[in-house]
Structure 1
């Protein structure tokens, strides 16, 4: 039979790399589905609150958002900065649309939806853009605006978690080509990249205002 192998009952069995179970199959990605729903909802909540506070600030320049707690944790300072409207409109409006899409994707997975590889790569590209944009906003907050917005921080964390989760899924399934060691990393230690990412952000925030935190 040439290169065709058989199992113990004589049924032909394909050789080569084992089939990767699609993440969209029922029961294959409940963890990812819930992560997308939860992080998307968190980002949506943050975007909604920031948008409401932005409108209140426009109506009353003396309005003080509830998350303006001290000179460092000052949401009002961030919302009134030029960086808060990077594309000519309030940044959270991007979040209202983007995070809503993520929630819908996660809900679809929970309902048994299956998405093609092109869809997952598109979602990966979207979360990559979001992560890059959040990184830029973080740098601006730390070193230009000199203040933190707690709701913005929630959006940063939600975005990077969904980015790494989708990236790990795409690498494991082969939708995103990657060398063997990288696939093994995401298969066994998918928690490591987001943990390292969060650790770096925490370290930057801690060291930026070290005197304030320890004073």
Structure 2
């Protein structure tokens, strides 16, 4: 009698998605509340304004802070629900179709592209480091790596070699994330001389 093999649940991926979703949602919520407070009391400094360099106000009140005609954090309030739900579903043993993983991955392609643009605007145009924005960057970057490798591991590209490489690279996500953070930190230092202003 043949024995049915149950596919291994991606528990680590699921837990990360839930964690990143909660952290990202909280950052988006905090920024949204800061923006509402500023609209109610114009000229009031945000609670995350610590200095000319480290602040939220310049980012929130800029054109870059409302790219689509409304505050950017509102995007996060809706978008960060998705990884929480997907993570919970994976923990419950859900299996998703290929098209679902492609759409989910495309969401993170948009997220990482938007974050890279926002980082460039923050460092090269606004010359500020927004604390809650940086929290968002810190979860979007590794989440993009995790989702990309997981999607490849799930066989979105139906080649066994691709799946094997993606599976091996998953263990390198922490290092990839650290390298990405270091790159951003070095650019920030070169552009804004952060250490001299602490």
Aligned-CA RMSD value: 2.3
Aligned residues: 193
Is 2:78 the counterpart of 1:97? yes
What residue ranges of structure 2 are gaps of 5+ in the alignment? none
Question: Could you say which residue in structure 2 is the equivalent of 1:190?
Answer: 172
What residue ranges of structure 1 are gaps of 5+ in the alignment? 1-10, 13-20
* SS, match of residue 71 in structure 1: coil
Distance 1:163 1:131, change over 3 A: same
What TM-score results when the alignment is normalised by the length of structure 1? 0.81
Q: CA deviation at 1:62?
A: 2.0
Bigger Rg, structure 1 or 2: 1
Report Cα offsets for 1:128-186 as digits up to 9, x if no partner: 10000011011001111111111011111111111110111122232146794795265
1:213 to 184, 195, 198: 195
What TM-score results when the alignment is normalised by the length of structure 2? 0.88
Question: Could you say which residue in structure 1 is the equivalent of 2:135?
Answer: 154
Runs of 4+, deviation exceeding 3 Å = 176-183
* SS, match of residue 43 in structure 2: coil
**In structure 1, distance between residues paired with 2:158 and 2:172:** 16
* SS, match of residue 174 in structure 1: coil
Question: Could you say which residue in structure 2 is the equivalent of 1:135?
Answer: 116
Higher helix residue share: 2
Question: Could you say which residue in structure 2 is the equivalent of 1:48?
Answer: 29
Report Cα offsets for 1:14-57 as digits up to 9, x if no partner: xxxxxxx99xx4x5211000000000111100000000110111
Is 2:196 the counterpart of 1:201? no
